Amino acid sequence: MLVLTKVRMPDTTLYSSYTSRRSVLGYVAPFGLVGLLVGLAVLPVATLIWIALDGSSDVWPHLLNYVLPATMVQTLMLLLLVAFGTTIIGAGTAWLVTICHFPMKRFFNWALVLPLAVPTYIAAYTHVEFLDFSGPVQSLIREIGGFATSRDYWFPDIRSTGGAALIFSLVLYPYVYLTCRLVFSMQGASALDVCRSLGASPARMFWRVGLPMARPAVAAGVAVALMETLNDIGAVEILGVKTLTYAVFETWLNRDNLTGAMQLAILTLLLVAGLIWLERIARRGRGYNASVRERPPAQLHLTPLKQALAFAACALPILGGLGAPLFILGSYAARRMEQLSEPDLINAITNSLTVALLSAALATAIAYGVLQYARISRRNGIATVGRMASLGYAVPGTVLALGLLIAVAGFDNWLDGVMQLNFGVSTGLLLSGSIVTLIYAYTLRFLAIAYGTIESGFARLSHQVDCAARALGRTPMQLALQVHTPILRKALAAAFLLVFVDSMKELSATLLLRPFDFETLATMIYDRASQAALEEAATAALLIVIIGLVPMVLLSNIIDGQHGTKKTRTLLPALGK
């Protein structure tokens, strides 16, 4: 006998009983924790503003007359050239590996991400050696042309704003490549078929259809690349480009003027805010909605000549961004194999891995915890406040380190005064010059990367999964551990790997915040290369690149697994010339 019973489905508002608790602690505590996170995030910037406004402005006549004019011009010119270079390389190669069919396309699909593992300062050091008068390129030119001196032929100077823009573009274009490759793979075949029916060539399809549809992705990738450019100190120093961030570093340490450095730091923050505003303007009202029913874009079968050009267009960025550094570093390191057993190098490797692993784990855990509670409780305010706490990535490392150093020192002095006054005990400097402050800076700076990666994973996770888990009696903790975590393991792994790679490369904040006699691979490279001893730093530089390559390969595989397009696509002949 069939008996029908009425089953009561769970409330569509997830865990209504959980979220409707009247306990003040249960309601306020999460906001308090996230609010504390926001307070720790804005503390360095607030310190900068307070000191800049409280300090004297006597230094500004000197800055306005001798520092700012040339610095601003070089900074803006560098940013403009890097934006152009990363757009052309990143969007162009993403279009080729997604839409076109040519030899070794599958290899380039993941290999084009690898130059991101090379720190900008290492790329600058190696390219100077590679393209300098005594380097292999000019030596080959002199041998072929029979030239004796540099006066007999013309060769562009790599130590210039244009040279710096080229190096930054070769290393930072993967930010644009990753975002554009995803958008191009989501574009359906309808728009491209219309272009083909009108006789458009592949190049014209890219300029008139592909690139305009990918403008939001291009704007997001370029904004990240420009922030990384502003954050750099080592590359611009060796290339002789005086950017605004380097002026902050130089004004404080070389000219012993903290107030002027703080005021320049505020100007740098305004420039970063302008970049973010321009990126928002570029994406306002623009987007692309791909239909799940539409077939993926058909691959264009290029002519042999165009296949060769596409192969060269994808190979050159890899050779320039990764091949040249590996060639120089490998040749130098081969003559310094004994350095692998040096205690200083072993300590630097240990310190770099320790700080990077702890920072990556902490940033990933904080981002996941905030987003997890925001999803379970359905409180959009938690996610919004958490997003505010992740704005540290927009602050250059030098500026962040300056504000954090002064704030932490002020806390140590206050705590020492309180303990001496009440207990007669001096605590000294507990946080200043400690590894805790360094991990704090890394976590704060790269929290946005973990937050954005995990948030995109949650966005693709249907709430029906949560309702099904609720119907099966899962608690919030069980939902997080047994349901969300396994589903989001690729997003969590991607967030961890991205923060780990960036932490391994971080230089500017490390130079100011590292403890006494605490060397990382980045600071070891900078110290030795600053003394014109690149060969002594080659082994450390090669190690930091190799360590960064492993996560980038894993990250590329993760991205292909999440957003990979179907392998079976129609091969169409190219129309037009």
Residue 67: count of CB within 10 angstroms of its CB:
20
Does the pLDDT of residue 261 top 80, yes or no?
no
Does the pLDDT of residue 534 top 80, yes or no?
no
The model's pLDDT over 45-78, given as tens digits with 9 standing for 90+, comes to 788 778 777 655 566 777 777 778 888 889 999 9
Is residue 389 very low, low, confident or very high in pLDDT (cuts 50, 70, 90)?
Answer: low
Note the pTM of the prediction, 2 decimals. Answer: 0.79
Does the pLDDT of residue 562 top 70, yes or no?
no
Q: State residue 10's pLDDT score.
A: 44
Q: State residue 24's pLDDT score.
A: 44
Phi/psi for 426 (5° steps) reads -95, 125
Mean pLDDT of the chain: 78
Using a pLDDT cut of 70, give the percent of the chain over it: 80
Q: State residue 569's pLDDT score.
A: 42
Q: Walk me through the domains of the chain, giving residue ranges and CATH numbers.
A: 30-565 (1.10.3720.10)
Give me the amino acid identity at 98.
T
Q: State residue 169's pLDDT score.
A: 95
Maximum mean pLDDT: which of 172-181, 193-202, 208-217 = 172-181
For residues 210 and 356, which has the higher predicted lDDT (pLDDT)?
356
CA distance 126 to 107: 25
Residues 422-426 have a mean pLDDT of 81
The model's pLDDT over 127-167, given as tens digits with 9 standing for 90+, comes to 988 888 888 888 888 888 888 777 888 888 888 899 999 99
Q: Among 122-136, 243-257, 357-371, whose mean pLDDT is lowest?
A: 243-257
Beta bridge partners of 282: none
Q: State residue 11's pLDDT score.
A: 44
Exposure of 157 in the CB half-sphere (CA atoms within 13 A): 7
* Structural contact between residues 231 and 245, judged by C-beta atoms closer than 8 angstroms: yes
